[in-house]
Amino acid sequence: MGKPKILIVEDEAIVAVDLRERLTALGYAVVGVAASGESALRQVARHSPDLALLDIVIKGNRDGIETAQAIRDQHDVPVIYLTAYADHETLNRAKATQPFAYLIKPFEERELHVAIEIALYKHSMERELRCTRRQLQERVAELQEQIAIKEEAEAQVRRLNRSLEQRVAERTAKLQEANKDMEAFVYSVSHDLRAPLRAIHGFAEILVRRYAVEADPDAGRYMRNILQASDQMGRLIEDLLVYAQVGRRAVRSQAIDFGDLVSRVSQQLAGRIAATGASIQPPCDSPPMCGDATLLSQILTNLVDNALTYHKAGVPPYIAIGCRRQNEGICIWVRDNGIGIAPGCGDKIFNAFQRLHSHEDYPGSGIGLAIVKRAAELMGGKTKVDSMKGKGSTFSIWLPQGNPTGRSIH
């Protein structure tokens, strides 16, 4: 950094020369001496001094105080008054121009030196302060702008969310409507198919009974095929009717005695249980639970029925049924020691008409698990199967308790 530049504003030449010498000796660079206010302003503009030392009584139209005011207004240059006047009025006028010092002549060189150093230091500090304040103001403005942008973005997300929720609700309502229409259609078609199918089945039975023995072997086989196919179609229609009916009535949640439910389902399937030699392991202890009794009964009947169907040849089914609390809900499970399910097939078997076995191996319509899934979903629940081929399967149904939203089973 070079020497601090000082402008002297003094109309007495001798005083000015003396001052210049003293300042130079003190290590300052005197950039000029002005005898009038006008000359002082010109020199300030030309040299941009770091400090101006002003006498109050000078030549020209402006006195030192007016000149200091103009320097302050037009240029950022600190001033120090060097004057012989110390009267009240002069002092007050000088104060209004915010000088960095006011030295009464005659003054000591030490006094002048200290006043100049303090003025230079104070002025540079003020400059730094102004710069920091400006930076802070800019930063605050930036932050305010960022906050405004963030708030606008959040408001937009909220607006989008609201419109999304509304669209989802509309879409869901439409889907529910379409589903209802579809179920009504399935129901009426299945219903109307029953009468002609009964006729086909009845006549096929008569044909087999009366003529199959005398007819040629091919004709007898065809008759029995018709009978078998109409049987299969009858089962399919009955299952479809049940499926279509699952969602047609309102879901009624009530307290359920799970042990009681299991024994009623076991009684219903008593014939098949006896025929397959199956043993059922009922739940030893069940937590209190709520649900729709009809839907729960349909779920359990289908799962136990499947466990009785898909057992290993020569191995009687062993079926364990249980219920426990899980994730703010309850989980019901049916575990068997049957043929199991190949990896990757677990998810799709809950869809209607998805079968992993032929009718020859295992008769069925492919609707049972679709009924289970639909019934669980109507109660806000979820279905899951854990299985390994040849190692049995566990079907689980998670149902919320007092909370209608569906949760996944872990």
The yes or no reply on residue 364 touching ligand ADP (CB under 6 A) is yes
Indicate whether 355 belongs to the interface with ligand ADP (CB under 6 A): yes
Name which position in 342, 357, 403, 404 contacts ligand ADP (CB under 6 A): 357
Query: With left for phi above 0 and alpha for psi between -120 and 50, is residue 24 left, alpha or beta?
Result: alpha
Please name the helix (run of DSSP H) or strand (run of DSSP E) that holds residue 373, with its range, or none.
helix 368-378
CB of 373 to ligand ADP, least distance (A): 9
Among 341, 375, 376, 379, binds ligand ADP (CB under 6 A): 341
Judged by CB under 6 A, the stretch of 27-35, 75-83, 179-187, 356-364 that binds ligand ADP is 356-364
The torsion angles phi and psi of 79, rounded to 5 degrees, stand at: -125, 150
Footprint of ligand ADP on residues 106-145 (CB under 6 A)?
A: none
Considering only residues 339, 376, 379, 399, which one is a binding residue for ligand ADP as defined by CB under 6 A?
Answer: 339
Task: Tell me how far apart the alpha carbons of residues 138 and 296 are, in angstroms, rounded to a whole number.
Answer: 67
Q: Closest separation between CB of residue 302 and ligand ADP, Å?
A: 6
**Residue 265 lies near ligand ADP (rule: CB under 6 A):** no
> b/e for 92-130, b at 16 or more Cβ within 10 A?
ebbeebebbbbbeeeeeeeebeebbeebbeebeeeeeee
Cα 383 to chain center, whole Å?
Answer: 26
The answer to the question of residue 338 lying near ligand ADP (CB under 6 A) is yes
Place of tokens 């006011």: 102
Distance CA 397, CA 381 (A): 7
CA atoms 216, 217, 222, 224: torsion sign: positive
Q: How many of the other CB atoms lie within 10 Å of CB of 27? A: 9
366 belongs to the binding site for ligand ADP (CB under 6 A): yes
Stretch that binds ligand ADP, among 86-94, 273-281, 316-324, 338-346 (CB under 6 A): 338-346
Q: Does residue 128 sit in helix, strand or coil?
A: helix
Which residue, 97 or 365, is less far from ligand ADP as judged by CB?
Answer: 365
Could you tell me which stretch among 43-51, 96-104, 270-278, 335-343 binds ligand ADP (CB under 6 A)?
335-343
Find, among 115, 81, 116, the residue nearest to 96 by Cα. Answer: 81
**In Å, how far are 148, 240, 308, 315 from 367, measured between CA atoms?**
56, 7, 16, 25
Q: How many helices (H) and strands (E) does the chain have?
A: 10, 12
Q: Give yes or no for residue 312 binding ligand ADP (CB under 6 A).
A: no
349 near ligand ADP (CB under 6 A): yes
Number of Cβ within 10 Å of residue 355's Cβ equals 15
The CB-of-213 to ligand ADP minimum distance in angstroms stands at 33
Q: Does 292 bind ligand ADP (CB under 6 A)?
A: no
- By CB under 6 A, the count of residues binding ligand ADP is 23
The least CB distance from residue 319 to ligand ADP, in Å, is 9
- Of 368, 380, 381, 400, the residue at the interface with ligand ADP (CB under 6 A) is 368
Nearer residue to ligand ADP within complex by CB, 171 or 391: 391
Asked if 365 is part of the footprint of ligand ADP (rule: CB under 6 A), the reply reads: yes
Residue number, 18 or 347, with CB nearest to ligand ADP: 347
Distance of CA 361 to the CA centre of its chain: 49
Q: What interhelical angle do 368-378 and 217-246 show, nearest 10? A: 0
- Binding of ligand ADP by 383 (CB under 6 A): no
Shortest Å, Cβ 205 to ligand ADP? 23
Q: Which residue of 101, 261, 307, 321 would you call a contact of ligand ADP, by CB under 6 A?
A: 307
Structure tokens at 263: 């024994």
- Does residue 393 touch ligand ADP according to CB under 6 A? yes
Query: Considering beta carbons, is residue 291 or 364 the nearer one to ligand ADP?
Result: 364
Binding residues (CB under 6 A) for ligand ADP: these are 302, 306-307, 309-310, 336, 338-341, 349, 354-357, 364-370, 393
